[in-house]
Structure 1
Amino acid sequence: MKNNNILWLYLFLIIGVLDLFFTAQGDSDLRIYSKPLIILSLFMYFFQISKVIEGTILRKSMLSALFFSWLGDILLLFPNLFLYGLGAFLMAHICLIIGFKISQNKPFEIGKVNFIKLFLYNLPIYISAAFVYYLIQPNLHEMKIPVIIYVLVIVMMVTTARERYHKTIPESFWQVFIGGLFFMISDGILALNLFFNPFPESGVLVMGTYIVAQLLIVMGIRSHYLSVKA
């Protein structure tokens, strides 16, 4: 069974590399087949390895995040469906926020919160998101409100990942946090390419950081629940 599970992971990596190749070549026709299979294979991998936490909110939230990411990938293949793709990824980030919050030791424990320290820890994330928004906002027009909502949610996703520090095992924290950062970087590059200054390398950079982000997040959540089980 374990060997069968790892095959899904190998499939994810192989299809990811193929999609990067097609992206670099500008072959949009073949990407219609490769892009939807990237997250589908990762979904199947996590579905199989997470049966030990079957029925939990953590598993449901992560599978939902992967499902909405898969849906977003498909929708973003068609430029006229961009807003729907944005909505699908918005739902994916909300699911990730739930998953990141639950995958902590004593997630609902209420303790003292130093808001100044919390703000300073998250400040680089806020500045990065604000800078990208500053660059793209003149060209957003009717997309301004949806993009603002999306930026706020993805910032919340990354800060929730950061707040897992010392609330899970180190490898889980770093995998999830770095994965969240890569997700934010991927979306930032996509936004700059669409609404600020298009550049030919954007497609490969967007997909490369996105693939790494999804893999790190899944492996980080896996590390957490296996450590809890142990």
Structure 2
Amino acid sequence: MDILETDAHHRRKLAAEARGRTVRLLPFLVSCALYFGLWLPEPSWPSAVTKILPVLSLVLFIWSESNGSWTPYAQGIFWGLLCSCAGDICLVWPDLFLPGAGAFAIAHLCYLWALGLRPVRPVAFVLTAVVWTATLVCLKPCLDSPVLGCAGIYSALLLAAACRSLSRLPSPHWSPWLMACGFLLFATSDAILVFDRFCLLLPWARFVVMVTYYMAQSLIAASVVGEAIHWKDI
């Protein structure tokens, strides 16, 4: 009987935690709806503010999830999201594209800090190296040398973080899967953004970029929940 009561209590606790997380994610969903609903013209400060609200809500979500167990993983994702907010603001103005890319580069360094350097998966490294090389080859006709160099450094950091996330697969925990999917979406978003801005105007580019970007950041942030559970199990 005690075992049944303990199991029932555990199930009620998990259900309560799930409801709590759903409530804490509502600001993200509402702010996304606000951004796409208003769809303010860029560049403008109102557009910049509505653009960063979803990511700021994810920052608050991670802070609320810490609950006394502020793991190195959560810290890295927390600071990565904050740096992403700075990058989001800069990218609203075309003249601030390079500072925005710099802010996102720092964000990816934070994500790399969260992911660590183990385990090593040569296949993931080769795959991301091929993608990095192909990206630079495609961008070379569109960019001058200084911008191409910056793009090479930024894409190397992004794909390094993607490589680290892929290197954690396969895993019995769902957190690494969320992180890997998040970085695949992040890379997709950035690729569309760069090609639209420098190579060829793509229809609905801004919409597709922002949808994939918000999905990416939300999956990266959600991975903190599973990572925290795994950390407690250890």
Shorter-chain TM-score category?
A: 0.7 to 0.9
Instruction: Name which of 104, 108, 120 aligns with 1:89.
Output: 104
Match of 1:161 in 2: 165
What is the distance in 2 between the residues matched to 1:198 and 1:222? 38
What is the distance in 1 between the residues matched to 2:99 and 2:152? 15
Match of 1:44 in 2: 60
- State the superposition RMSD in angstroms: 2.3
2:51 matched to 1:10? no
Instruction: Name which of 20, 30, 34 aligns with 2:50.
Output: 34
Structure 1 residue 5: deviation in Å?
A: 5.6
2:178 matched to 1:175? yes
SS at match of 1:95: helix
The farther-off stretch of 135-144 and 65-74 is 135-144
2:74 matched to 1:74? no
**CA 41–121 in structure 1, closer or farther in 2 if over 3 Å, else same:** closer
What is the distance in 1 between the residues matched to 2:125 and 2:37? 35
Asked whether the 8 Å contact 1:132–1:192 carries over to 2, the reply is no
What is the distance in 2 between the residues matched to 1:6 and 1:98? 27
- Compare CA radii of gyration and give the structure with the larger one: 2
Matches within 5 A, 1:1-230: 6-23=22-39, 27-28=41-42, 29=44, 30-54=46-70, 56-101=71-116, 107=118, 118-141=121-144, 142-166=146-170, 168-230=171-233
The residue identity in structure 2 corresponding to 1:145 is: G
Asked whether the 8 Å contact 2:165–2:180 carries over to 1, the reply is yes
Q: How many pairs does the alignment contain?
A: 214
SS at match of 2:134: helix
**CA 4–223 in structure 1, closer or farther in 2 if over 3 Å, else same:** closer
SS at match of 1:170: coil
Q: TM-score, normalised by structure 1?
A: 0.83
What is the distance in 2 between the residues matched to 1:208 and 1:201? 11
Mark the runs of 5 or more structure 2 residues left unpaired by the alignment.
Answer: 1-15
Match of 2:12 in 1: none
Structure 1 residue 50: deviation in Å?
A: 1.6
SS at match of 2:200: coil
Question: 1:46-87 deviations in whole A, cap 9, x for unaligned?
Answer: 111123323x43232121101101111111111111111000
Structure 1 residue 125: deviation in Å?
A: 3.0
Mark the runs of 5 or more structure 1 residues left unpaired by the alignment.
Answer: none
Asked whether the 8 Å contact 1:165–1:173 carries over to 2, the reply is yes
The residue identity in structure 2 corresponding to 1:46 is: I
